[in-house]
Amino acid sequence: MEKPEVVSLYISAEARQLPTSVNEAHAVPGKGLEGDRYFNRTGTFSTHPAGDNELTLIEIEAIDALRGECKLEMKPADARRNIVTRGVALNHLVGREFKIGTVSLRGIRLCEPCSHLESLTMPGVKSGLVHRGGLRAQVLTEGMIRVGDPVCKA
C-alpha cells in the first residue's frame, strides 16, 4: 500500500478562481488555510456551519479513477480541494481525528461533488465523484501543512 501522504496542496484567494498549487500552507483553527477563500470567508459556501469549510481533501486515487472509469481528464487543482492525498481512505475519517504532519484535524463530513463543481469543470464530474469527492475537515491545532507530510490517525 502507498505511504499515506499529501501529494499536493492548493489555495484560492477568491470564489470561482482556480486554486493555486503551494508547497506549504498555515492551518489555523476556526479559519482554515491562510490565504484561502474560506479562511477569508469569501468562498461560495462560506455561510456553511463553522468548521465545515476550513479544509477540504480528496484522494489522488479518485481523480485517477475519473480518467480510467469516466474518461474525464481532471487535474488535481480542478477538484477545488485544498489537499490531495495518496494512500488514505478519506471516507473512513468522517467523525475521526487525524493528523497531517503536526496539524491535528477532525473529519466533519464527506465533500460530495455538486453542480457548482461541475459548472466550474466539466459534465460528468458530479456523477464520477459521488461518494469519493473527498472530506471536509476542521482544523484543531495550528501549524504548517506541507506537500509530502504524512497523514495518520491521531
pTM of the model: 0.85
The domain at 5-153 falls in which architecture?
Answer: Beta Barrel (2.40)
pLDDT at 62: 87
- With cut-offs at 50, 70 and 90, classify the pLDDT of residue 123: low
Question: Hey, is 55 helix, strand or coil?
Answer: strand
Listed by start position, the domains of the chain span 5-153
pLDDT at 131: 59
pLDDT at 120: 55
